[in-house]
Amino acid sequence: MEDKSGLSASEQNRSGWNESSGNHLAERRQAVAQSPTQHHPLAHGTASAHREATSTGHPRLHLHRRFRSGFLPDDRDIVVYLPPGYDDHPSRHYPVLYLQDGQNLFDPATSFVAGRTWQVREAADAAIVAGEVEPLIIVGIYNTGDRRLAEYTPVADWRMGGGEAASYGLLLTRELMPWIAQQYRVRGDRASTGLGGSSLGGLVSLYLGLEYAHLFGRLAILSPSVWWNRRNILAFVHRRAEEIETRPRIWLDAGDHEGRMTLRDAESLARRLLKEGWRDGETLHFERIDGGTHDEASWARRVRPLLRFLFPHSGNSTS
């Protein structure tokens, strides 16, 4: 049976994953086994990225297939969420949030577990309509399957490989973000630009968010894989904090049912951030999710709260 986890063979089979994050893989494999076979939209060969949006089943979700990079070998799909009223205000520009694992965010047919997504559109729509969150654009970046581990890890692990997040960062900052700015009405300032993800996607979002702290002012770090390469990210936070003048606003969370080390590692990360100058409740919100698990259903419940913290409604709708 084809593996649909989005994890490389090394990530699945070597002991580092299970030692560090408990039963994540077992939980997610069980969920896949209980779900119908899902289809993978990533296998599009080597055709150049075409720029027209294709249908996603909702008029405010735009799918751009086969985005090509000069920094990484694989093409990837990009899905863009537009907020309610986007077409009614042609002069208005919007904050933007870039999220990893784009196939898991909106579409039940492409998600890791078929039928289960982060429900980002539903959560964002509800928060915007309720006046809790400033209308924003959300960009989902599809992962590339077997190369997900490589692209989402900042440094190589001697057992598991990886370490291509720097190249992924070049794709994001030099190719994708300028292209999005050409296609959609996004604000270009740091305070209006966010980055986020979960698990390894949370790890790479924290790494790139701090590496490019002059570009990203808001970070959504869900259930991050702090364990990678002996918690190397903690040392990185210390080094980069000395060089960052203005701390990005960070949402950080972990569930208490995500494996024996995940919550402990996230708490260690929260303490490190506070020690390095982030302020509790102002530039950092850390939340222990009661009953939280390492899956799309649990992350879906966190979307609306994290949007409220990172993009609170300012009352200014003219910018």
Which range has the worst mean pLDDT, 38-47, 104-113, 268-277, 289-298? 38-47
Taking residue 316's Cβ as centre, other Cβ atoms within 10 Å add up to 7
Q: By C-alpha distance, which of 215, 91, 201 is closest to 143?
A: 201
**Six-digit token string for 98:** 């870039």
Q: What is the pLDDT of residue 56?
A: 64
Token couple for 16? 């580092």
Could you tell me which residue, 2 or 274, shows the higher pLDDT? 274
User: Contact at 8 Å (CB) between 185 and 93?
Assistant: yes
Q: List all residues 6 or more positions away from 169 whose beta carbon is below 8 Å from its beta carbon.
A: 207, 208, 211, 212
The residue with greater pLDDT, 28 or 130, is 130
* Predicted confidence (pLDDT) per residue in 223-276, tens digit: 999 999 999 999 999 999 999 999 999 999 999 999 889 999 999 999 999 999
34 pLDDT exceeds 50? no
Share of the chain above pLDDT 70, in %: 81
If one compares 3 and 207, the residue with the highest pLDDT of the two is 207
Residue 114 confidence (pLDDT)? 83
What is the pLDDT confidence band of residue 112, given thresholds at 50, 70 and 90?
confident
* Residue 317: predicted pLDDT: 46
Does the structure show a pLDDT above 80 at 49? no
Element of type H or E holding 270: helix 262-275
Question: What rounded mean pLDDT belongs to the chain?
Answer: 86
Q: Tell me: the pLDDT tens digits for 158-215?
A: 999 999 999 999 999 999 999 999 999 999 999 999 999 999 999 999 999 999 999 9
Local structure of 282: helix, strand or coil? coil
Mean pLDDT of 262-291: 98
The whole-number pLDDT of residue 210 equals 98
Element (H, E) at 196: strand 193-198
Q: The pTM is what?
A: 0.86
What pLDDT is stored for residue 55 in this prediction?
Answer: 53
Q: Which domains does the chain have, with CATH numbers?
A: 9-217+293-310 (3.40.50)
Between 33 and 276, the more confident residue is 276
